[in-house]
Amino acid sequence: MKKQDSLYMQVYDYYRGLIESGKMHNGEKIPSIRRSASEFGVSKTTIEQAYMCLCDDGYLVPKKQSGYYVSRRAEQRKSEISKRQKLTENKLIYDFASSGVDSESFDLSLWRRYVKSALRQTERLLGYGEPQGEKELREEIAMFAKQNRNCVCDASNIIIGAGVQSLLHILCPLICERKSIVFSDPNYIQGVSVFTDHGFEISKTFDGADIIYTSPSRKTRWGETISVAERFKLAEYAVAEDKLIIEDDYGSEFRYVNKPTPSLQGLSGGKNTVYLGTFSKLLLPSIRISYMILPSEINEKYRKVSSVYNQTVSKVDQIALCSFIRDGHLSSQIRKSRKLYLQKSKILCDLLAESFEDKVTIGKTDSPLFVKAEIKTDMSLNELVKSCEKNGLKIVPISENGNGIEIAFSVSAISVEKMEKGVNLLKSLITDSE
């Protein structure tokens, strides 16, 4: 079934490409179903399906007894797309700092099937659903978080929301007896702002804060993590000093080692810790599904007000994700992504070594999403970042010393082809300055 799915999408993409690139024009007739079928060597059903989709998406219009023609809307769409592309192209060509995902890493056609399936559950889609999130999905997430992150949880203390911010908006009033919060990454403006908006004081020191917001799986922007020993220490400290830990487990799934470090929430037995997880990195950034695991005392408070907070995730996405996890696709997606990012990291390391030869020292990071490199140059870090930006190249700056600079590269969203060109460009920017 999947093969067929992708066959028709190949035909779809082929004709869409011709239309969007202007190789086929408004009013032009495309080959008949019979002819296309024989040209592509596929069944007429496959071609018909592709043509139907092209009609649905406004690229073609069917004419009775005559065939399929390129629509007028296709021209319009073409100019929209080129406008959008121009906008992004002018700004940024080689993005080594992205938090997006690789188009290869996610099987969109598989996800499509699950969404379609969810859309067929007519009766379920007619009601508002549970404010906490669909129970079946919470059960699947509980199993997933237990198995993969050692979390202490079940369906009853998991809350589903459209992104971490939506969940923090529910959390803040539940912990308002605490006054101040410290962020291990003070630049995480999305988190800081929610707490500021809710009247919390942002503390600069650990000791001065009642709440500690930390991302142990992402200590730095370039994917370093906090060790198990440090995690234990933090968990103990929190219990001893009655601090609440908010563990934002962003990016935990892509560690080098096969099984990622257990979560703080798990290490502390679920006490004093609120756990935040998200599926945006695993699936698609445009699918906004996150979850929060509450310790029992906060969960009891939540129960009393749960009906006040409407669910923010569409039920279609919840139903789709539930079946997707149940059928084991989330786990295989993690394995697949990890492998892909490892390959890409390896390729980038080779490219850097080739280009910069003895001028580069490549460092290890804890995440396959990032490669760290120390490059010998007279340029300052600031100069390099500016020069890169001017030329459409984006990197993650780390540090500098007399000898050179240390930078990191995210391999998550950039293609292998662009990696090569990006590294060459970087090389020329550094060489030109000398």
Verify binding: residue 166, its own copies, rule CB under 8 A: yes
Among 6, 21, 103, 431, binds its own copies (CB under 8 A): 103
Among 14, 27, 119, 186, binds its own copies (CB under 8 A): 119
Candidates 121-129, 224-232, 335-343, 377-385 — which segment interacts with its own copies by CB under 8 A? 121-129
Under 8 Å CB-to-CB from 180, ≥6 apart: which residues? 200, 201, 202, 203, 208, 209, 210, 211
Our CB check for its own copies shows the closer of 120 and 390 to be 120
Which 319-338 residues touch its own copies, going by CB under 8 A? 323
Our CB check for its own copies shows the closer of 101 and 426 to be 101
Least Å from the CB of residue 145 to its own copies: 22
Among 90, 258, 310, 401, binds its own copies (CB under 8 A): 310
List the Cα angle 274/272/261 in 5-degree steps.
65
**CA-CA distances (angstroms) from residue 205 to 182, 184, 210?**
7, 9, 10
Among 1, 229, 240, 257, binds its own copies (CB under 8 A): 1
Verify binding: residue 309, its own copies, rule CB under 8 A: yes
**What mask, x for binding its own copies by CB under 8 A, covers residues 43 to 82?**
--x--x---xx-xxxx---x-----------------x--
Our CB check for its own copies shows the closer of 52 and 239 to be 52
Among 64, 66, 187, 199, binds its own copies (CB under 8 A): 199
Sheet (strand 404-410) strand order = 360-363, 370-376, 404-410, 396-400
Candidates 21-29, 118-126, 143-151, 335-343 — which segment interacts with its own copies by CB under 8 A? 118-126
Question: In the beta sheet, which residues pair with residue 372?
Answer: 363, 408
Looking at this protein, which amino acid is placed at residue 247?
Answer: E
Verify binding: residue 93, its own copies, rule CB under 8 A: no
Least Å from the CB of residue 33 to its own copies: 12
Least Å from the CB of residue 82 to its own copies: 13
What does the DSSP assignment read for 102-148?
A: -TTTS-HHHHHHHHHHHHT-HHHHTS---TT--HHHHHHHHHHHHHH
Candidates 281-289, 291-299, 336-344, 396-404 — which segment interacts with its own copies by CB under 8 A? 281-289
Our CB check for its own copies shows the closer of 177 and 207 to be 177
**What mask, x for binding its own copies by CB under 8 A, covers residues 370 to 399?**
------------------------------
Give the tokens for residue 7: 């066959």
Candidates 239-247, 292-300, 308-316, 425-433 — which segment interacts with its own copies by CB under 8 A? 308-316
Under 8 Å CB-to-CB from 167, ≥6 apart: which residues? 159, 161, 276, 290, 291, 292
End-to-end Cα distance, the chain: 57
Which 203-262 residues touch its own copies, going by CB under 8 A? none
Our CB check for its own copies shows the closer of 22 and 269 to be 22
411 CB-side CA count, 13 A: 30
What does the DSSP assignment read for 247-260?
A: EE-TTGGG-SSSSP
Our CB check for its own copies shows the closer of 113 and 418 to be 113
Candidates 116-124, 332-340, 375-383, 384-392 — which segment interacts with its own copies by CB under 8 A? 116-124
Dihedral class, residue 100 (left if φ above 0, else alpha if ψ from -120 to 50, else beta): beta
Instruction: Evaluate whether 181 touches 151 at the Cβ level (below 8 Å).
Output: no
**CA-CA distances (angstroms) from residue 277 to 135, 161, 208, 233, 251?**
17, 10, 26, 22, 9
Verify binding: residue 197, its own copies, rule CB under 8 A: yes
198 CB-side CA count, 13 A: 22
Which 12-41 residues touch its own copies, going by CB under 8 A? 12
Verify binding: residue 123, its own copies, rule CB under 8 A: yes
Query: How many residues at the interface with its own copies, by CB under 8 A?
Result: 71
Give the tokens for residue 122: 């007519």
Under 8 Å CB-to-CB from 339, ≥6 apart: which residues? none
